[in-house]
Amino acid sequence: MQALAIQSEIGDRAGQATTLGNIGHIHLDRGELATALDQFEQALAAHREAGNRAGEALNLDSIGSVHRVRGDFDAALGHYGPALVIRREIRDLAGEASTINNIGWICQHRGDLKAAVAHDERSLAIYQLLGDRANKATALCNVASVCHQEGKSGEALDYFRQSLDIRREIGDRPGQAATLNNIAFVLKQQGNADAALAFYVDALAIARELGYPLDEAMALNNIGSVHWDKGQASEANDAYVQTLAIYEQVGDRAGAATVLNNIGSVHGKLGELGMALQYYARALATSREIGDKTGEAAALSNIGSVHHR
């Protein structure tokens, strides 16, 4: 903040823009989405005023990421698209790959796996060309995630483990937490609940160590899912309730919709059908508001299962 005050005093708009963007990323990592968005928008205006096309693209991408975390995919794409155009115009390969990665994530979560794979493979190829190991690890995770969604769990685990190896080698603790979550999820789907739980607990410890609420929420939700699969409803509900509190605090509506479905399932299993329907209805409304078709379908299916009892 001292740097920003000095830059403002001497009229260094370019420096202000860079500092504002950096501050925005600090708030984004902390899950403080409204503050992050404000900083990114100020940085965007400053970069445009200075005619800095690279900075403009960077902050368009950052604003898109805030909207993506909030679950507003249309708004996210509305910023990713212009960012991608600029990055291609100025031949910023690294920036192009980053924006392509982000667009691929949205394609995947909207169920367009063909488009997701095309974007993820393009970004991975660019990072390999550039020798960018940190972002290569991210791209590997994205490819793995699509493979898993397509039912190719063996390929998914291979990509995730490649990513984890890179992230450990370069000391990327946040990346390690995310990848541990991903590996655990695949293991859980394969029926290896105990191994999955161990990976999730490791991921949770890193997220809490770093003070990253979104990663903490992801790990807690996944821990809840393992307990659910093991028939431990009380333990599952405890983890899910902690997860929901975090998502609501940071304004992650997509995450909230997912865990609302999960809490509803716990109440359904306990025979508390009225409570189950309340949570499912909240999940359905949220999913429809943000255009999450996968979440909407899950909520409708859950509601139907209650009515057919």
Q: Per residue, what are the HEC states of 158-188? A: HHHHHHHHHHHHHCCHHHHHHHHHHHHHHHH
**pLDDT tens digits for 140-181?**
998 999 999 899 999 999 999 999 999 999 999 989 998 998
Q: Report domain extents, the chain.
A: 2-130+203-302
Tell me the C-alpha distance between 203 and 179, whole Å: 8
**pLDDT tens digits for 15-46?**
787 888 888 989 998 889 999 999 999 999 99
pLDDT(5) > 80: no
CATH architecture of 2-130+203-302: Alpha Horseshoe (1.25)
Q: What is the pLDDT of residue 306?
A: 84
Closest alpha carbon to 138 in 115, 153, 111, 159:
159
Strands (E), the chain: none
| Whether the Cβ atoms of residue 158 and residue 182 lie closer than 8 Å to each other | no
pLDDT(13) > 90: no
**pLDDT tens digits for 294-306?**
889 999 999 988 8
Average pLDDT score over residue span 193-210: 95
CA atoms within 13 A on the CB side of 202: 18
| Whether the Cβ atoms of residue 123 and residue 142 lie closer than 8 Å to each other | yes
Tell me the C-alpha distance between 212 and 201, whole Å: 15
Q: What is the pLDDT of residue 173?
A: 94
Q: What is the pLDDT of residue 18?
A: 83
The residue with tokens 């609302």 is 260
| Residues of the chain above pLDDT 90, percent | 77
Cβ burial of 125 (10 Å; 0-12, 13-18, 19+) is: middle
